Amino acid sequence: MTAPTSAVPAAAAAVARAGAGRPAPRPTRRLVRKGTLYAALVAGGVAMMIPFIWMATTSLKTRAEVFTSPPFSFPTGLHWENYANMWFALPGVTFGTFFQNSIVIASLATIGQVITCAMAAYAFAVIEFRGKRVLFALILATLIIPFQIVLVPNFILYRYLPWPLSDSGNWIGTILPLWVWAFFGGAFGTFLLRQFFLTIPRELADAARVDGANPWQIFLRVYVPLARPALATLAIFQFMWSWNDLLDPLIYLRDLPTYTTTVGLAFFQGQFVGKWPEMMAGALVSLLPMIILFLVAQKYFVRGIALSGIKG
Amino acid sequence: MTSTARLGDLAGGVEPMPDRAGVPSGRGPRAREARWALLFLGPTLVGLAVLSAGPILATFGISLTKWDMLTAPQFVGLENYGKLLGDDRFLKALRNTVFYTVVSVPVGLVLALGLAAALNQQIRGIAWIRTAYFLPLVTSATAVALVWLWIYSPTGLLNDFLALFGIPPQRWVSDPTLAMPSIIAMSIWQGLPANVIIFLAGLQAIPVEYYDAASVDGAGRWSRFRDVTLPLLTPSIFFVGVLALIGAFQVFDQVYVMANPGKPSEATITLVYFIYENGFRNFKMGYAGAASWIMFLIVAVFTILYFRTQNRWVHYQ
- Model pLDDT for residues A36-85, shown as the tens digit of each residue: 888 888 999 998 999 998 898 888 888 878 777 666 677 777 888 889 88
Residue of A nearest to B290 (CA): A149
pLDDT digits (tens, 9 = 90+) for B14-46: 333 334 344 444 556 677 778 899 999 999 999
* 3-class state of residue A170 by DSSP: strand
pLDDT digits (tens, 9 = 90+) for B149-198: 889 988 888 988 888 898 998 888 888 889 999 999 999 999 999 889 88
Of A32-46, A241-255, A297-311, B260-274, the one with minimum mean pLDDT is A297-311
Is B51 in contact with A42 (Cβ distance < 8 A)?
Answer: no
Residues of B in contact with A243 (CB under 8 A): 140
Residue of B nearest to A31 (CA): B123
Percent of chain A with pLDDT over 90: 42
Across-strand partners of A284?
Answer: none
Say if A190 is an interface residue toward chain B (CB within 8 Å).
yes
| Res B10: pLDDT | 30
Nearest by Cα to A143 from B242, B194, B298, B60: B242
- Cα–Cα distance for residue pair A75/A72, rounded to 1 Å: 9
pLDDT at A12 over 50: no
Are B158 and B95 within 8 A, CB to CB? no
Among B residues 37-76, those touching chain A with beta carbons less than 8 Å apart: 37-41, 43-48, 50-56, 58-59, 62, 69
Determine how β-strand B74-75 pairs with β-strand B65-66.
antiparallel
Type of residue numbered A179: W
Are A97 and A257 within 8 A, CB to CB? yes
| Res A72: pLDDT | 66
DSSP character string of B62-79: HHTEE--SSS--EE-TTH
* Among the partner residues A150, A266, A291, nearest to B135 by beta-carbon distance: A291
Between the alpha carbon of residue B123 and those of residues A12, A37, B119, B131, B134, the distances in Å are 19, 9, 9, 14, 17
Is B52 in contact with A150 (Cβ distance < 8 A)?
Answer: yes
* Among the partner residues A137, A148, A270, nearest to B260 by beta-carbon distance: A270
Question: Region B265-281: what's the mean pLDDT?
Answer: 91
Nearest by Cα to B103 from B184, B177, B183: B184
pLDDT band at A17 (very low <50, low <70, confident <90, very high): very low
- Cα–Cα distance for residue pair A252/B203, rounded to 1 Å: 42
Is A279 in contact with B155 (Cβ distance < 8 A)?
Answer: no
| Res A71: pLDDT | 65
pLDDT band at B317 (very low <50, low <70, confident <90, very high): low
Q: What mean pLDDT is reported for chain A?
A: 85
* 3-class state of residue A197 by DSSP: helix
- Cα–Cα distance for residue pair B139/A284, rounded to 1 Å: 10
* Among the partner residues A12, A23, A54, nearest to B151 by beta-carbon distance: A54
Helix ranges restricted to H, chain A: 2-7, 10-16, 27-59, 63-68, 81-87, 95-126, 132-144, 151-160, 187-198, 202-210, 215-218, 224-226, 228-244, 247-252, 261-271, 276-308
Beta-carbon pairs below 8 A across chains A and B: 333
Asked whether the bond before B106 is cis by omega within 30 degrees of 0, the reply is: no
Say if A20 is an interface residue toward chain B (CB within 8 Å).
yes
A79: alpha, beta or left, given left = phi > 0 and alpha = psi -120 to 50? beta
* Among the partner residues B24, B202, B249, nearest to A146 by beta-carbon distance: B249
* Among the partner residues A67, A153, A159, nearest to B55 by beta-carbon distance: A153
Are A287 and B143 within 8 A, CB to CB? yes
Mind telling me how many Å the CA of B177 is from chain A's nearest CA? 23
Of A165-169, B244-248, B303-307, the one with minimum mean pLDDT is A165-169
Question: Rounded to an integer, what is the distance from CA A261 to the centroid of its chain?
Answer: 14
Say if B283 is an interface residue toward chain A (CB within 8 Å).
no
* Among the partner residues A14, A41, A270, nearest to B129 by beta-carbon distance: A41
pLDDT at B4 over 60: no
Is B47 in contact with A293 (Cβ distance < 8 A)?
Answer: no
Going along chain B from its start, the domains and CATH numbers come out as: 2-63 (no CATH), 83-313 (1.10.3720.10)
| Res B90: pLDDT | 96
Say if B22 is an interface residue toward chain A (CB within 8 Å).
yes
| Res A24: pLDDT | 53
Handedness of CA A61, A63, A67, A69 (dihedral sign): negative
- Cα–Cα distance for residue pair A127/A114, rounded to 1 Å: 19
* Among the partner residues B43, B48, B58, nearest to A119 by beta-carbon distance: B43
pLDDT band at A16 (very low <50, low <70, confident <90, very high): very low
| Res B48: pLDDT | 92
Residues of B in contact with A14 (CB under 8 A): 201, 204-205
Say if B292 is an interface residue toward chain A (CB within 8 Å).
yes
Say if B232 is an interface residue toward chain A (CB within 8 Å).
no
| Res A25: pLDDT | 56
* 3-class state of residue A312 by DSSP: coil
pLDDT digits (tens, 9 = 90+) for B104-159: 999 999 999 999 988 888 788 888 888 889 999 889 999 999 999 889 988 888 98
Is B198 in contact with A306 (Cβ distance < 8 A)?
Answer: yes
Say if A41 is an interface residue toward chain B (CB within 8 Å).
yes
Nearest by Cα to A303 from A244, A236, A224, A238: A236
* Among the partner residues A48, A151, A276, nearest to B279 by beta-carbon distance: A151
| Res A308: pLDDT | 65
Going along chain A from its start, the domains and CATH numbers come out as: 90-308 (1.10.3720.10)
Across-strand partners of B75?
Answer: B65
| Res B94: pLDDT | 95
Is B48 in contact with A142 (Cβ distance < 8 A)?
Answer: yes
A220-255 burial: b if 16+ Cβ within 10 Å, else e: eebbbebbebbbbbbbbbbbbbbbbbbbbbbbbbee
Task: For the beta carbon of residue B272, count every other beta carbon within 10 angstroms.
Answer: 25
Rg of chain B over all Cα atoms, to the nearest angstrom: 25
Say if A119 is an interface residue toward chain B (CB within 8 Å).
yes
Among B residues 200-219, those touching chain A with beta carbons less than 8 Å apart: 200-206, 208, 211-212, 215
Task: For the beta carbon of residue A90, count every other beta carbon within 10 angstroms.
Answer: 18
- Cα–Cα distance for residue pair A299/A15, rounded to 1 Å: 9
Question: Region A128-152: what's the mean pLDDT?
Answer: 89
pLDDT at A252 over 60: yes
Across-strand partners of A170?
Answer: A162
Say if A246 is an interface residue toward chain B (CB within 8 Å).
yes
| Res A14: pLDDT | 44
| Res B228: pLDDT | 86
pLDDT digits (tens, 9 = 90+) for A87-110: 888 888 899 999 999 999 999 999
Question: Region A174-179: what's the mean pLDDT?
Answer: 94
Mind telling me how many Å the CA of A173 is from chain B's nearest CA? 12
- Cα–Cα distance for residue pair A18/B132, rounded to 1 Å: 16
- Give which of A98, A99, A152 to mutate to test B binding, by max B Cβ within 10 Å: A152
Q: What mean pLDDT is reported for chain B?
A: 85
Nearest by Cα to B256 from B280, B289, B234: B280
- Cα–Cα distance for residue pair B183/B255, rounded to 1 Å: 7
Percent of chain B with pLDDT over 70: 89
Is A37 in contact with B46 (Cβ distance < 8 A)?
Answer: no
Residues of B in contact with A137 (CB under 8 A): 3
Say if B143 is an interface residue toward chain A (CB within 8 Å).
yes
Helix (H) or strand (E) holding B305: helix B285-308
- Cα–Cα distance for residue pair A278/A134, rounded to 1 Å: 52
Percent of chain A with pLDDT over 70: 88
Between the alpha carbon of residue B232 and those of residues B163, B229, B238, B242, the distances in Å are 44, 5, 11, 17
pLDDT band at A23 (very low <50, low <70, confident <90, very high): low
Residues of A in contact with B206 (CB under 8 A): 20
Among B residues 250-279, those touching chain A with beta carbons less than 8 Å apart: 250, 252-253, 256-257, 260-262, 271-272, 275-276, 279
Across-strand partners of A162?
Answer: A170
Of A11-20, A153-162, A191-200, the one with minimum mean pLDDT is A11-20
Is A15 in contact with B200 (Cβ distance < 8 A)?
Answer: yes
This model of the complex carries an ipTM of: 0.84
Type of residue numbered B186: M
